[in-house]
């Protein structure tokens, strides 16, 4: 069918936490037929090998404290390729709707007459099982909070203060520059002795992790030189880690 006769399409696709085999079957199939892929820095580049030879692969990643592609530019690329090629795949690390701005891209596309599809991904915290950290546990944790360590204004999320008061497992994304502040918030509320763990490159061959008590978060990171991308898990369940 002629591209111009078809409604242009956007596939917002979760790449999973890092191991390329942790993508969904649906995601795998979509990549095999992709015409253009706009991919992030946290999506495993090995997944691009699934695409046809003539597929255009464009990096639109955001380094946490360095170069980045402005969101408006990503939107323009989506629009441009959807209308010139017929469909665009937006490949994002983990799940596109968990701290991923995937929904903004969907709304932008719809406003511009592009049909949208959402394919979920395994979010990075779900790889915690590989170091024997179950996120919930009948005897230890009845809920999980996903909290961002870095809000738009650079501040620590106020939700963390609420999460500290619960028995929930708390998972902090984008928090590696805030280890001191996070530890202090727990100490100040009298909860410094809750077990905690940090996992870098979860599910990848270069995965590293360490654990201890939340009051010592900076020292836990230093013990194994853990840096971005890493998740911080706080709660009794981390004491089960191997």
CB 91 within 8 A of CB 12: no
Which one of 51, 87, 116, 124 is in contact with ligand SAH (CB under 6 A)? 124
Does residue 116 interact with ligand SAH by CB under 6 A?
no
Q: Choose the catalytic residue: 35, 40, 95, 178.
A: 40
Look-up of token digits 């795949």 = 89
CA 47, CA 161: separation in Å to the nearest integer? 38
Does residue 235 interact with ligand SAH by CB under 6 A?
no
CA triple 239-240-242, angle to 5 deg: 105
Is 54 catalytic? The answer is: no
Nearer residue to ligand SAH within complex by CB, 87 or 128: 128
CA 222, CA 171: separation in Å to the nearest integer? 19
> Phi and psi for 124 in degrees, rounded to 5?
-55, -35
Does residue 17 interact with ligand SAH by CB under 6 A?
yes
Q: Choose the catalytic residue: 26, 57, 62, 208.
A: 62
CA distances from 8 to 30, 33, 72 (A): 15, 15, 19
Does residue 44 interact with ligand SAH by CB under 6 A?
no
Does residue 95 interact with ligand SAH by CB under 6 A?
yes
CB of 203 to ligand SAH, least distance (A): 6
Interface residues with ligand SAH (CB under 6 A) are 17-18, 42, 93-95, 98-100, 123-124, 173-174, 199-204, 228-231
- Active-site amino acid positions: 40, 62
């Amino acid at each position: 069918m002629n591209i111009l006769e078809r409604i242009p399409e956007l596939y917002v696709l979760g790449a999973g936490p890092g191991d390329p085999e942790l993508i969904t079957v649906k995601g795998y199939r979509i990549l095999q037929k992709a015409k253009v892929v706009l991919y992030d820095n946290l999506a495993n580049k090995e997944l691009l090998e699934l695409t046809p030879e003539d597929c255009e692969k464009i990096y639109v990643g955001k380094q946490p404290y360095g170069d980045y592609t402005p969101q408006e530019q990503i939107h323009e690329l989506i629009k441009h390729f959807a209308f010139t090629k017929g469909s665009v795949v937006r490949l994002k690390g983990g799940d596109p709707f968990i701290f991923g701005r995937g929904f903004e891209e969907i709304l932008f596309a719809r406003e511009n007459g592009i049909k949208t599809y959402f394919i979920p991904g395994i979010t990075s915290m779900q790889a915690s099982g590989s170091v024997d950290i179950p996120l919930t546990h009948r005897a230890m944790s009845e809920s999980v909070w996903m909290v961002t360590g870095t809000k738009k204004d650079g501040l620590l999320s106020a939700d963390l203060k609420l999460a500290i008061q619960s028995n929930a497992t708390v998972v902090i994304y984008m928090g590696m520059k805030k280890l001191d502040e996070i530890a202090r918030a727990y100490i100040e509320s009298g909860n410094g002795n809750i077990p905690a763990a940090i996992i870098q490159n979860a599910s990848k061959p270069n995965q590293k992790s360490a654990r201890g008590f939340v009051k010592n978060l900076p020292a836990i990171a230093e013990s194994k030189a853990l840096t971005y991308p890493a998740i911080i898990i706080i709660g009794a369940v981390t004491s089960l880690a191997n």
